[in-house]
């Protein structure tokens, strides 16, 4: 009897030990498959500009959600039927979340999303006018994305000796017009006679045209040149070559112009991408527009160049803080455009939607203003 009892106890011990060993294996079988995420860029990720900023956000997401996500990126995809083909390919490869990062990707994204209701697509740059359950947007926060550009304008207004500032920009769409207006207002707040001469390239990325435009502005007397397109590298380096100051956009590229760099605006998309991805993983994601701007922590003032005096740095930083706290409001009435037409009546402050429809230029801006 005693032997039988010992045998039973031994068998129970083996069974308990086996259960303990096998349990981790069961958990391992239940390991969640990483979420596949596709990023589509209109230009190269090495452009040190718009696409670079998004790719830095992609890398940040992978590092913060290690093991939970796997990302891929498609570069140099034009705003045409090509982006639709790339999205379809990404979906066929198992991507369940796609970030379409260029302004003109919205319409193709909507068509693809309609065919694949199980795939979530996030579009950057425009509010989605046709809400769909699996399409969201992370549009520019028109209420504050221009804050650093105003501060950048303050620096430019202080640093120009001739009062002539060149401005090379891609397309006359609301985000760019709003930033350009804020830049000019910042410059004229410290230098009332300053003028901002704008040249449109009509392309998000065209280095040859950008270099030509910057050189033409310099030849016409501009001693500061600012830029706003996918990558401001060409304009900034052209300014450096011709010994004039420069201001950039999307990314901090002070190292490319050690003598002439003033400052600019840069994006930090990493935390935004992590938050969106976490919501999808947790099952709490909902279609809608997520604004990204300065007060959300995604838009920031770039570093100051070595040529910028400490007093000017302090002045620009102080005004940026006033904008962030609401002490200073730029787009409030009464305000006229450069042609003398009242655009904002007395007592009126433009809201986000109204700021997103700005199609006019403030006093001090020179050059053509195409309607399309």
130 band by pLDDT with thresholds 50, 70 and 90: low
Tokens representing 258?
């050690």
**Residue 19 reports pLDDT greater than 50:** no
**Residue 27 reports pLDDT greater than 60:** no
Give the pLDDT of residue 336. 97
CA distance 45 to 33: 27
Cβ atoms 205, 47 nearer than 8 A: yes
- Which residue shows structure tokens 């309609």? 114
- Taking only the tens place, the pLDDT of each residue in 174-200 is 889 999 999 999 999 999 999 999 999
DSSP state of 305: P
128 band by pLDDT with thresholds 50, 70 and 90: low
Structural domains of the chain in order of their starting residue, each with its CATH number: 35-139 (3.40.50.2300), 147-265+300-366 (3.40.50.2300)
- Taking only the tens place, the pLDDT of each residue in 309-327 is 999 999 999 999 999 999 9
User: Helix 233-241 crosses helix 207-219 at what angle (to 10 degrees)?
Assistant: 40
User: Helix 50-64 crosses helix 270-282 at what angle (to 10 degrees)?
Assistant: 50
**Residue 10 reports pLDDT greater than 80:** no
CA atoms within 13 A on the CB side of 349: 8
Give the pLDDT of residue 126. 74
Give the pLDDT of residue 31. 62
Beta strands in the chain (DSSP E): 35-40, 69-74, 97-100, 120-124, 135-138, 164-169, 195-200, 224-228, 245-250, 261-267, 299-301, 335-336, 342-344, 365-366
């Amino acid at each position: 009897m005693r032997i039988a009892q010992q045998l039973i106890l031994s068998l129970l011990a083996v069974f308990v030990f086996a259960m303990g060993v096998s349990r981790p294996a069961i958990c391992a079988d239940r390991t969640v498959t990483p979420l596949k995420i596709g990023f589509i860029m209109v230009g190269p990720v090495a452009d040190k500009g718009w696409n670079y900023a998004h790719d830095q956000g992609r890398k940040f997401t992978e590092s913060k959600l290690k093991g939970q996500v796997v990302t891929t990126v498609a570069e140099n995809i034009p705003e045409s039927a090509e982006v639709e083909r790339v999205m379809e390919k990404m979906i066929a490869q198992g991507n369940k979340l796609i970030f379409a990062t260029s302004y003109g990707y919205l319409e193709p994204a909507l068509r693809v999303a309609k065919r694949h209701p199980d795939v979530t697509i996030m579009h950057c740059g425009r509010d989605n006018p046709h809400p769909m359950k699996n399409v969201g947007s992370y549009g520019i926060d028109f209420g504050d994305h221009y804050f650093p550009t105003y501060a950048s304008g303050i620096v430019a207004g202080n640093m120009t000796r001739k009062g002539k500032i060149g401005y090379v920009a891609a397309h006359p769409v609301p985000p760019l017009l709003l930033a350009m207006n804020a830049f000019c207002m910042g410059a004229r707040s410290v230098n009332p006679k300053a003028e901002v001469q704008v040249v449109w390239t009509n392309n998000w990325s065209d280095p040859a045209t950008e270099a030509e435009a910057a050189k033409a502005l310099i030849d016409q007397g501009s001693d500061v040149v600012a830029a706003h397109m996918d990558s401001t590298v060409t304009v900034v380096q052209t300014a450096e070559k011709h010994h004039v100051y420069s201001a950039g956009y999307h990314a901090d590229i002070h190292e490319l112009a050690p003598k002439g760099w003033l400052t600019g605006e840069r994006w930090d998309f990493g935390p935004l991408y992590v938050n969106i991805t976490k919501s999808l993983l947790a099952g709490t994601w909902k279609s809608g527009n997520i604004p990204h701007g300065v007060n959300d922590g995604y838009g920031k003032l770039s570093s100051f160049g070595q040529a910028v005096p400490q007093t000017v740095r302090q002045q620009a930083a102080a005004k940026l803080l006033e904008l962030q706290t609401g002490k200073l409001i730029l787009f409030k009435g009464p305000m006229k455009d450069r042609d003398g037409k009242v655009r904002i009546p007395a007592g009126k402050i433009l809201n986000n939607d109204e700021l997103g429809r700005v199609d006019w230029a403030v006093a001090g801006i020179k050059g053509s203003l195409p309607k399309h």
